[in-house]
Amino acid sequence: MAGAEAAAGSVEAVFREEHGRLLASLVHRFGDLDLAEEVASEAIEAALVRWPVDGVPSRPGAWLLTTARRRAVDRLRRDRGLATRLAVLQAEAERADPAPPADADPDLPDDRLALFFTCAHPALPAQDRGALTLRFLAGLTTAEVARAFLVPHATMAQRLVRAKRKIRDARIPFRVPGADELPGRLPTVLQAVYSIFTEGYAASSGPDLQRTELAEEAIRLARILRRLLPAEREVAGLLGLMLLVHARRVARTGPDGAVVLLDDQDRARWDHAMIDEGRALVLVALTGPAPGPYGVQAAIAALHDEAADVASTDWPQVVALYDVLLTMVPSPVVALNRAAAVAMRDGPDAGLALLDGLADDPRLRGYHLYPATRADLLRRLGRHDEAAAAYRSALALVGTEPERAHLLRRLASVTDDGPDRGCTLPR
Amino acid sequence: MKYMLLFMSPATDGEAGNGCTFEDWIRYDREMKDAGIWVSGHPLQDLTTCTTVQVGPDGERTITDGPFAETREVLGGYDIIDVPNLDVALDWAARSPGATGGASVQVRPVAEVKVEV
């Protein structure tokens, strides 16, 4: 049993690239996520048996789709109730969307965009949208999705089942929103992909600071979205942002797994090809009227990536971009980041004054980076007792081990009466 | 697919109005009927006319004035519409006079119960 499960897992891995596309085509055709999932898996398993014998077909995707469709039709013949339900679904889908757009390749249409909008539908719980996107568009198994979001397998399985049931029973449609709806609907799709990235970039808890494979899944999904929505500049902004941050992944962790902050990173180890790609996307995202929040965040990331070191970073420009971002996303976390940038431009006193203005914001309560940022500024001002208290507050809230270790080192540097050892972190 | 739109208003002393007028509701009602999606629906009288009935394990009836205490939201009326999917239902809910001014609309799919013949 365990062997069969492992084999099925490797099949999933081999065909991950095809899986989302295949699944989306089947959902479009049959309107039923469960049926699509089952026959997609069957087709992939059939391919693994047949292809080593018959050779890989010239159009593997079309082969998989044809095989899966046949299986679905077989299943519908056997199950009359299901067939009746699907016939009704199909008729109503046509009523809702009478003129489907013409496909460039009618044999192998790309229906993934509709599936993105279903998985990130605002009628689904926000916490499940990233999970559904990973499961159905990135093709991860339920176990892998559970690991990605650090929840037990059974919990994730239950969440996915519940979300699928809502999609089916409330009839959340598989459709790309019209041009008038798109501005309202795209943000949840981008947020779902970004939530996968941030979970990979800064795991909320656990032994590792970052999980690069998860960040790479998010980048892969954003690349698919970029191909499917080439005119949407926020998609370019999101992809650019993730590339510009992910480009620092190697330098972000020390040899012992310790966190290395931006100030201390060896910038020669950044992925410069990835930075170039990200910078080109920033241009796309910011060219034209009314850029969006992902484009602006990508521009901030680009300013960091372009600078030779912290001192030569264009801090006035970083602050100006945070000002713009704050008008789009009036979030205290953005205000916190802006305060840190102001501290770099005008000195720690100025940053500290801004942070004190955020002290009573309930949305920052429980967020370890608020006291941690405050502690760093107090330390730079030589106010060591206050800095130590703030580091202790941050330690009470921090989730990952490497960040905890970093805060402990900083705490030691302000309590040992010795020189500031914060700058002797592993580089 | 049939959906019930439940028009909820915050429970307040006196009138639970959200600023929309009788004419707004008449117009909305006509729009639904013109679109051919309206199945049924009614406005409800206010909570002062409400009576609650419960039947205990022994079959005894308890009849009380009004709804249960701590009612935060009051159901002011409902419509049942027949539309292809949730997006269309949500769109009709958003267009209703009952979605603004602090009021809200709950959108619930109607369960299709199959009766074996």
Q: What's residue A29's pLDDT?
A: 87
Average pLDDT in the A111-118 region? 93
**pLDDT(A73) > 70:** yes
Q: What's residue A93's pLDDT?
A: 58
Residue of A nearest to B4 (CA): A170
Of A86-95, A338-347, B73-82, the one with minimum mean pLDDT is A86-95
Chain B residues touching residue A173 (CB < 8 angstroms): 84-87
Contact B87 A177 (CB under 8 A): yes
Contact B86 A170 (CB under 8 A): yes
Distance from CA of B86 to the nearest CA of A (A): 5
**pLDDT(A242) > 50:** yes
**pLDDT(B55) > 50:** yes
Contact B84 A92 (CB under 8 A): yes
Q: What's residue A4's pLDDT?
A: 47
Q: What's residue A276's pLDDT?
A: 97
User: In this predicted model, what pLDDT tens digit does every residue of A151-208 receive, in sequence order?
Assistant: 899 999 999 999 999 999 999 999 999 989 999 999 999 999 999 998 887 666 666 6
Average pLDDT of every residue of chain A:
86
For chain B, how are helix, strand and coil distributed in percent, rounded to 5? 25, 35, 40
Q: What's residue A54's pLDDT?
A: 87
ipTM of the complex: 0.85
**Inter-residue contact A281 to A319 (CB < 8 Å):** no
Q: What's residue A109's pLDDT?
A: 62
The β-bridge relationship of strands B38-43 and B73-82 is antiparallel
- CB nearest to A92's CB, from B1, B87, B109: B1
**pLDDT(B90) > 60:** yes
Residue of A nearest to B3 (CA): A170
Q: Quickly list H helices, B1-117.
A: 22-35, 86-95
Chain B residues touching residue A121 (CB < 8 angstroms): 86
User: In this predicted model, what pLDDT tens digit does every residue of A319-365 receive, in sequence order?
Assistant: 999 999 999 999 999 999 999 999 999 999 999 999 999 999 988 88
Give start-end residues of each CATH 1.10.10 domain in chain A: 112-175
Distance from CA of B62 to the nearest CA of A (A): 35
Grade residue A19 by pLDDT with cuts at 50, 70 and 90: confident
Q: Does A62 touch chain B (CB under 8 A)?
A: no
Distance from CA of A78 to the nearest CA of B (A): 20
User: Hey, what CATH class is A112-175 in?
Assistant: mainly alpha
Residue of A nearest to B88 (CA): A96
Q: Does A256 touch chain B (CB under 8 A)?
A: no
- Measured in whole angstroms, the distance separating CA A262 from the mean position of its chain's CA atoms is 21
Residues B2-45+72-109, CATH architecture: 2-Layer Sandwich (3.30)
Instruction: Report yes or no on whether pTM surpasses 0.90.
Output: no
**pLDDT(A422) > 60:** no
Average pLDDT in the A76-98 region? 67
Q: What do you get for the CA distance between the two ends of chain B, in Å? A: 22
**pLDDT(A94) > 60:** no
Q: What's residue A3's pLDDT?
A: 44
Contact A92 B87 (CB under 8 A): no
Report the 3 state secondary structure along chain A.
CHHHHHHHHHHHHHCHHHHHHHHHHHHHHHCCHHHHHHHHHHHHHHHHHHHHHHCCCCCHHHHHHHHHHHHHHHHHHHCHHHHHHHHHHHHHHHHHCCCCCCCCCCCCCCCHHHHHHHHCCCCCCHHHHHHHHHHHCCCCCHHHHHHHCCCCHHHHHHHHHHHHHHHHHCCCCCCCCCCCCHHHHHHHHHHHHHHHHHHHHCCCCECCCCCHHHHHHHHHHHHHHHHHCCCCHHHHHHHHHHHHHHCCHHHHECCCCCECCHHHCCHHHCCHHHHHHHHHHHHHHHCCCCCCHHHHHHHHHHHHHHCCCCCCCCHHHHHHHHHHHHHHCCCHHHHHHHHHHHHHHHCHHHHHHHHHHCCCCHHHCCCCHHHHHHHHHHHHCCCHHHHHHHHHHHHCCCCEHHHHHHHHHHHHHHHCCCCCHHHHCCC
